[in-house]
Homo-oligomer: A and B are copies of this chain.
Amino acid sequence: MADNVTSALVAANEAFYDAFDTGDMQAMEALWAREHDVACLHPGAEPLFGREAVLRSWADILSGSGRPAIQCLDPRPIAFERAGVVVCFELLAGGRLVATNAFVTENGVWRMVHHQAGPISRPA
């Protein structure tokens, strides 16, 4: 059971970065939760709450000409019962971010409820 949740979390996290990397707004809309509160904390930005505000921000990012290429590295799942959190690095042209992504099941389907990404200082 815990192994199943762990695999599902990593797969849901991959689906998020695939949607981001390919600019697939339909996949992004499908991924975010409908029956739970959602939040999104883009780097340096004021937090966004609610499906409408969160998806609008992703539409802006994915449709923008400056959409960054992104690679997810070293995903580390923390599994609950039918929910969980994944911590991972985000590799971009400008450097590395570290991210928290949270997921929950809705009618057996894994959905995203939360994203926070923030900068890592380079070692001195």
Which of B38, B80, B98, B113 contacts A116 (CB under 8 A)?
B98
Contact residues in B for A82 (Cβ distance below 8 Å) = 80-81
Is A65's CB within 8 Å of the partner chain B?
no
Contact residues in B for A52 (Cβ distance below 8 Å) = none
Q: Is there contact, CB below 8 Å, between B113 and A85?
A: yes
- The A interface, classified by DSSP as helix, strand, loop or mixed, is strand
Total interface residues in chain A, CB < 8 Å: 33
Please report which residues of chain A, range 75-124, place their CB below 8 angstroms from some CB of chain B when the two chains form the complex.
Answer: 76-83, 85, 87, 98, 100, 102, 104, 113-114, 116-121
Q: How far is it, in angstroms, between the C-alpha of A46 and the C-alpha of B121 when the chains are bound?
A: 8
Is A3's CB within 8 Å of the partner chain B?
no
* A41-B98, A41-B118, A119-B118 known; A47+B87 contact, CB < 8 A: yes
CB distance from A62 to the nearest CB of B (A): 21
Contact residues in B for A120 (Cβ distance below 8 Å) = 44-46
Interface residues of A (CB under 8 A from B): 36-39, 41, 43-47, 49, 76-83, 85, 87, 98, 100, 102, 104, 113-114, 116-121
List the 10 closest A-B pairs by CB distance, nearest first: A118-B118, A80-B83, A44-B121, A100-B116, A39-B87, A37-B78, A100-B100, A85-B102, A80-B104, A81-B81
